[in-house]
Amino acid sequence: MGAVLVISFLVMLVLGIPIALSIGASALLVMILSEMPLEALPQTLFSGVNSFALVAVPFFILAGDILAQGGISERIVAFAEATLGRIRGGLSIVAIVASMFIAAISGSGAATTAAVGSALLPQLKSKGYDLDFSAALVASAGTIGVVIPPSVPMVLYAVIAGVPVSKLFMAGFVPGFLMGGILIAYALYVARSRGYPASEEISFAAKMTLFLRALWGIMTPLLILGGIFSGYFTPSEAAAVAVVYSLFVAMFVYRAIDLKKLYTIVVNAGVTSSLIMFIIATSKIFGWQLAFYRIPDKVASTVLTLTGGMSALVYLVIVVLILIAGMFMETASALIILTPIFLPSIMKLGGNLIHFGLLMTVGLAIGMATPPVAIDIYVASAITGLSLEEISRPIIPMIIALILVFLLITYLPALSLSLPKLVYGVI
């Protein structure tokens, strides 16, 4: 029956059936064929989403949408441009730094790409930057959106693996900065080789004006992350605080959102959240049957046998599979399906579950900008009007650079674990 479960799921994916329905239908098929009591179906669906930590998911999605449409991201980008624009190719650095900062608010790669792209891509084009390169840069920088906390995929992994969300959040800072740093290095190289211009000098008074305008937005990640790491509120409560604060700023300070626009934002966030929650619910049944037929244990035994139990090779196999999954599957779906499959292999090796959660997040984040299923590229395409192919060509070197960072944090766990160990002690 384990083979029926996996094969039916893969067949449905190939046929183009939505991922949530593919997961649920394959699990239901096995239940019927094995004559399991169908009364267990609704109970398992409910238990899959019956977690307080998952409250953070819809709230972070809503906060990201408010950020993108509430005038917050534009002011942050304007201040970053005034500060960094004097460097040759400074606007490309602004795109990456702004993505890193907005990542600390939105928790979403697509939201980060949309916020930075909408504000910066028209300016990049007007200043003489190649539009395909600019779109690729914004799309690749959008991957940082789920690595620097808060992060929706990290919340999902923490629920599945049973690890503290706050420790996983803390582990995301160094990898996120490394990803941003390597993209900045590449952007500077391209800027110098192509002769991209520097922006005009802006007076200190003008910079201070832009800073004060952006201050309300800059306070958002400090409020969210400061509250979490100081223990004032949980990540789920922080997500709700993020919504209330960003809504207050967008409606009453920047006055960029009215009630009609708010209604649209809430509905869109609700639709996105419901899709993710449906995937989580159906994946609970799928994961239950994977465990019942001992498929994760069999995968672990096979991987350990093929690699001779060498941890470096085991991690390499898993890293490659994560990258491939990220190329073809939506991030939440891939994470929910792959985590229970790979966890036994990591545990048999004595690997750290916080470190592995970060690997899952970073690997699948890179998939957000890797064709064919690359949500960040689609967002950049919608903003610029360029085709997927036109953006995919210049993004290849950036993806390679991000994969190098991925391998670095894979084989040097201290890069991601040193900060949580410093703050929390034993992890």
- Exposed, middle or buried by CB within 10 Å (0-12, 13-18, 19+), for 15? exposed
pLDDT in tens, 189-217: 998 888 877 767 777 788 788 888 888 88
Please tell me which residue, 267 or 90, carries the higher pLDDT value. Answer: 267
- pLDDT of amino acid 184: 93
- Residues 377-400: what's their mean pLDDT? 88
3-state secondary structure of 195: coil
The top-scoring range by mean pLDDT among 55-59, 171-175, 242-246 is 171-175
3-state secondary structure of 39: coil
Does residue 107 register a pLDDT over 80? no
- pLDDT of amino acid 410: 94
- pLDDT of amino acid 42: 81
pLDDT in tens, 302-317: 777 777 667 888 898 8
Mean pLDDT of the chain: 84
Does residue 294 register a pLDDT over 80? no
Q: How far apart are the first and last CA of the chain?
A: 37
pLDDT in tens, 321-334: 889 888 877 787 78
User: Which residues have CB under 8 Å from 393's CB, separation 6+?
Assistant: 132, 136
- Residues 51-77: what's their mean pLDDT? 79
- How many CB atoms lie under 10 A from the CB of residue 292? 14
> Strand ranges (DSSP E) for 266-348?
none
3-state secondary structure of 170: helix
pLDDT band at 173 (very low <50, low <70, confident <90, very high): very high
d(CA 227, CA 248): 18
User: Which residues have CB under 8 Å from 311's CB, separation 6+?
Assistant: 349, 351
d(CA 231, CA 239): 14
Does residue 73 register a pLDDT over 80? no
- pLDDT of amino acid 355: 94
User: Which residues have CB under 8 Å from 406's CB, separation 6+?
Assistant: 319, 323, 359, 362, 363, 366
